[in-house]
Amino acid sequence: MEKQQKTIEINADIEKCYATICDFESYPQWQETIQSVSVLEKDAENRPTIVEYDVKILVKKLNYTLRYEYDSEKYTLTWGYVGGDLKNIEGSYVFTKIDDQKTSATCTFEIEIGLWVPKKIMNTLKDVSMIDSMKALKKRAENS
């Protein structure tokens, strides 16, 4: 697997950015490829820890489940693959305060879909999906 990493600046405070990315059930409202989300398990603090997704990428529908870990003090959210139509996916979001109303968000992820796709096409798909996802996060955090 090959890691992808992107950083974006968001005009919202760090708490709002972190709360936005941790609100999985709202994803279908603002993440274009995500069709539905089901929270399967929560931790003692009532935060989702196991989340199932139905997504549509190009013409293909996929289902996968991720396990989340939180570090609220460092504004970090990490995830790992539990199961589904992919071979593997893992990653993280790290939020860094720039000032009271500006936050840096860095997303790092690796994905293996389990089907052979030419490397150049796969890297382009990963890049585009990561950029689209981060732009959607920025728009959601700044406008909600």
Domain extent, residue 73, equals 4-143
Q: How far apart are CA 118 and CA 68, in angstroms?
A: 30
pLDDT attached to residue 117: 62
pLDDT digits (tens, 9 = 90+) for 43-98: 999 999 999 999 987 777 889 999 999 999 999 999 999 999 888 999 999 999 99
pLDDT attached to residue 57: 77
Structure tokens given for 7: 């950083």
Least confident of 14-28, 38-52, 62-76, 118-132: 118-132
The domain total for the chain is 1
Least confident of 32-41, 53-62, 122-131: 122-131
pLDDT digits (tens, 9 = 90+) for 98-117: 999 999 999 999 888 776 66
Q: How far apart are CA 120 and CA 79, in angstroms?
A: 25
What does pTM read for this prediction? 0.91
Q: In this structure, what CATH number is given to the domain that contains residue 67?
A: 3.30.530.20
